[in-house]
């Protein structure tokens, strides 16, 4: 059995406690009160309850750490080195439509670097976790990205946000990658897309304009499973730009080259 550090135990316990409420509400999804935050962006009572549970649990365990939550925003802590980056319900639209594909995501940032991450998928009882330098795991099984070397054999995930619908780059990239890969999937939960890359279920994932809480934990999962993560220009601005390309160790470079070439063509007048 893989030994979990104290910080991973704190993160896992918080995720599991929040998920219990999500599962209860998921069983009564038609009765949830839903308010609109913006186009295609919904928040439910379940989301807010999970937010409160996670905030309470993480603050109790590490009272000085800063917080960055999707729902309740940012809080600066007395400990300036550490910050929790949390999405209490990644895949909200799936959740509200009764689609059993959503997760709790918790990342821990130290001095600007993600050093621990947990993604919990309640409907499958799958806990993905990683700590910098210690590997990535699914429950107690060590993870490794897939070994596929050819884009023609790869299954690649992406996401389409409302803000992407007017981006010629998005559709050009989607067309190019779809034409090169064995298949393209859009599951609607970026944290799980990254966890699935780490687990070898997907060869790669890319998307524009995500938020830090969507990807913080997943970035570390992929890296600790032997994969590579960059922004869409090949840099390391994922948490600030929200643009991300994660892939196994064989396909990241060819995918990055394909992305650069396609974006260059799409930007020409």
Bridge-based pairing state of the strands 41-44 and 141-142? unpaired
Q: How many angstroms separate the CA atoms of 269 and 267, rounded?
A: 6
| Side-chain half-sphere CA neighbours of 206 within 13 A | 27
Q: Are the C-beta atoms of residues 182 and 237 closer than 8 Å to each other?
A: no
Predicted confidence at residue 37, as pLDDT, reads 63
User: pTM value?
Assistant: 0.94
Whether residues 167 and 241 share a domain: the answer is yes
- What CA–CA distance (Å, rounded) separates 171 from 192? 22
> Are residue 162 and residue 138 in the same domain, yes or no?
no
CB 148 within 8 A of CB 154: yes
Q: Are residues 231 and 104 in the same domain?
A: no
Provide the residue-wise pLDDT of the chain in tens; the chain has 269 residues: 678 999 999 999 999 999 999 999 988 876 666 766 655 556 778 899 999 999 999 999 999 999 999 887 899 999 999 999 999 999 998 998 889 999 999 999 999 999 999 999 999 999 999 999 999 999 999 999 999 999 999 999 999 876 666 677 888 999 999 999 999 999 999 999 999 999 999 999 999 999 999 999 999 999 999 999 999 999 999 999 999 999 999 999 999 999 999 987 877 66
Residues 255 and 207 in one domain: yes
Residues 179 and 237 in one domain: yes
Say which CATH number the domain at 129 has. 3.30.540.10
C-alpha distances in angstroms, 3 versus 124, 143, 167, 219?
22, 14, 45, 21
CB 156 within 8 A of CB 127: no
Counted domains in the chain: 2
Instruction: Give me the domain span that covers residue 207.
Output: 151-267
Q: How many other C-beta atoms are found inside a 10 Å radius of the C-beta of residue 37? A: 12
Tell me the sheet residues that pair with 246: 205, 229
Last residue of a domain, one of 123, 142, 161: 142
């Amino acid at each position: 059995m893989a030994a979990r550090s104290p910080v991973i135990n704190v993160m896992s316990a918080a995720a599991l406690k929040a998920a219990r409420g999500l599962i209860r509400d998921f069983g009564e999804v038609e009765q949830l009160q839903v308010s609109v935050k913006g186009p295609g962006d919904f928040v439910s009572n379940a989301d807010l309850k999970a937010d409160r549970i996670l905030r309470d649990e993480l603050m109790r365990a590490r009272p000085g750490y800063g917080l960055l939550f999707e729902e309740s925003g940012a809080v600066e802590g007395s400990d300036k080195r550490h910050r929790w980056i949390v999405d209490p319900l990644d895949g909200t639209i799936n959740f509200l439509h009764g689609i059993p594909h959503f997760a709790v995501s918790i990342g821990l940032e130290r001095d600007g670097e993600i050093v621990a991450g947990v993604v919990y998928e309640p409907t499958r009882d799958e806990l993905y976790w990683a700590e910098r330098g210690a590997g990535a795991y699914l429950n107690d099984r060590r993870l490794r990205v897939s070994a596929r070397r050819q884009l023609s054999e790869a299954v690649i995930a992406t996401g389409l946000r409302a803000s992407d619908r007017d981006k010629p780059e998005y559709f050009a990239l989607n067309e190019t990658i779809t034409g090169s890969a064995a298949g393209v999937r859009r599951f609607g939960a970026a944290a799980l897309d990254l966890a699935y890359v780490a687990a070898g279920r997907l060869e790669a994932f890319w998307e524009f304009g995500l938020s830090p809480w969507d990807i913080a934990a997943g970035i570390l999962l992929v890296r600790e499973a032997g994969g590579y993560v960059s922004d869409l220009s090949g840099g390391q601005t994922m948490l600030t730009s929200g643009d991300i390309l994660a892939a196994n160790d064989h396909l990241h470079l060819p995918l990055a080259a394909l992305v650069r070439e396609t974006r260059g063509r799409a930007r020409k007048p």
